[in-house]
Amino acid sequence: MIIILSWINLYSQNTYVFFGSFNLDKDAEGIYVYQLDTLRGKLSKVTSFKGILNPSFLTLSPNGKYIFACTESKTKNAGSVSSFEFDPQKKMLHFINSQKSGGENPVYLTAHQNGKWLINGNYTEGSVSVYPVLENGRIQPSVQHFQFMEGSINPGRQERSHIHSTVFSPHFDYVFLPDLGADKIRVYAFDHEKREPLTAVEKPFTATTPGSGPRHFTFHPNGKFAYCIEEMGGAVSAYAYENGKLNDIQRINTHPEKLKEDFESSDIHISPDGRYLYASNRGYENNIAIFSIQSDGTLKSVGYQSTKGKHPRVFAIDSTGKFLVATNTGSGDVFVFRRNRTTGSLKKVSSIQIRQYL
């Protein structure tokens, strides 16, 4: 079983943590909801949802009412995006609807700040789909679909385009699309008032180091800097950002210099105060790399924290910056770490076993 943390949200004085998974069977639990004790850092199960296949990635609507999921991921002749409503009073998840994702392996969803748009990235096919969303959380059929084809220098991993995330700019007027297969961070302008909101820009991509495999992407809270974690290169590339354009300022390893292979960097997040950046390493290390963020946007290595399990695919930081929650896909467990806001260091406070890896 692969366990994936998607987000943490402060909701009516309660902090809920939502986990997706590759459940491989609709009769098995696919989405899990836990409540986080914000004093002790302990997780307690609230509810779960069956009846949906492989809800591999989750994201939250801006108003906090709806959960959007990549569903039927890695499923032949399938692939979809789905919508759910969480009722905190009844402690239940309700399915709303699904739409075709445009590929067999949807891996990442992002929602516009106005709640009216959803963008999905399909990894295997290297494509992106755009969906309108109604006020009741119902996803409408896609209005745009972009297919990319070119690959890069690694024939085993980069035979073609592989879109791995879809990320809005700080003002929600651009969308960035890290393409692991092509070693590019693609970009489109976004106009939420248009029926087809994505439009081409003069500089359609930023090239990354050949063979680096850009994966996940995030912006600094001040909107001036952006950071991309490279799955294959095991590095974070830092950029100065302005009006849809990225300018390189640094590339720094997520692992010690002595480690040259057997790793796959995965996820990346910045603390709410903008002082620290965290990046996950899978494989031999299974840890979170910790960096302090300098005033010029560059990163300085602070240290590493083991995730206490195997293959940490994604993690999240709660909105207060107090806790980091890491999921280990290979061991099917979740660990909660308390953040030291001064030093950026992490200390384990609790863990849960959701289900063994299958």
Q: What pLDDT was estimated at residue 356?
A: 47
Residue 38, token pair as written in the block: 């914000």
Q: Domain limits of the chain?
A: 1-147
How many whole angstroms separate alpha carbon 21 and alpha carbon 187?
29
How many whole angstroms separate alpha carbon 57 and alpha carbon 70?
5
Q: What pLDDT was estimated at residue 255?
A: 85
> Concatenated DSSP letters for 316-345?
EE-TTSSEEEEEETTTTEEEEEEE-TTT--
Q: What pLDDT was estimated at residue 24?
A: 85
φ, ψ of residue 238 to 5 degrees: the values are: -105, 145
How many whole angstroms separate alpha carbon 348 and alpha carbon 204?
42
Q: What pLDDT was estimated at residue 3?
A: 39
| Nearest of 31, 44, 43, 35 to residue 9 by alpha carbon | 35
Buried b or exposed e, range 22-41, using 16+ CB within 10 angstroms:
bbeeeeebbbbbbbbeeeeb
Residue 344, token pair as written in the block: 């950026």
Residue length of the chain: 358
pLDDT along the chain (358 residues), means of 10: 43 79 90 93 95 94 93 94 94 97 95 98 97 98 97 96 98 98 98 98 97 98 98 96 98 78 86 97 91 98 96 92 94 95 98 70
Buried b or exposed e, range 260-277, using 16+ CB within 10 angstroms:
eeebbbbbbbbbeeebbb
Whether domain 1-147 has CATH 1.10.230.10: no
| Nearest of 351, 350, 313 to residue 330 by alpha carbon | 313
Q: What pLDDT was estimated at residue 283?
A: 81
CA Rg value for the chain: 19
Residue 146 forms beta bridges with which residues?
128
* Secondary structure (3-state) at 292: strand
| Nearest of 269, 320, 316 to residue 13 by alpha carbon | 320
pTM of the model: 0.95
pLDDT tens digits, residue range 41-56?
Answer: 999 999 999 999 999 9
How many whole angstroms separate alpha carbon 106 and alpha carbon 198?
19
φ, ψ of residue 111 to 5 degrees: the values are: -110, 140
Cβ neighbours of residue 337 closer than 8 Å, sequence gap 6 or more: 41, 288, 305, 323, 324, 325, 326, 346, 347, 348, 349
Kindly report the three-state secondary structure assignment for every residue of 49-101: ECCCCCCCEEEECCCCCEEEEEECCCCCCCCEEEEEEEECCCCEEEEEEEEEC
Instruction: Let me know the angle formed at the C-alpha of 123 by 171 and 112, rounded to the nearest 5 degrees.
Output: 20
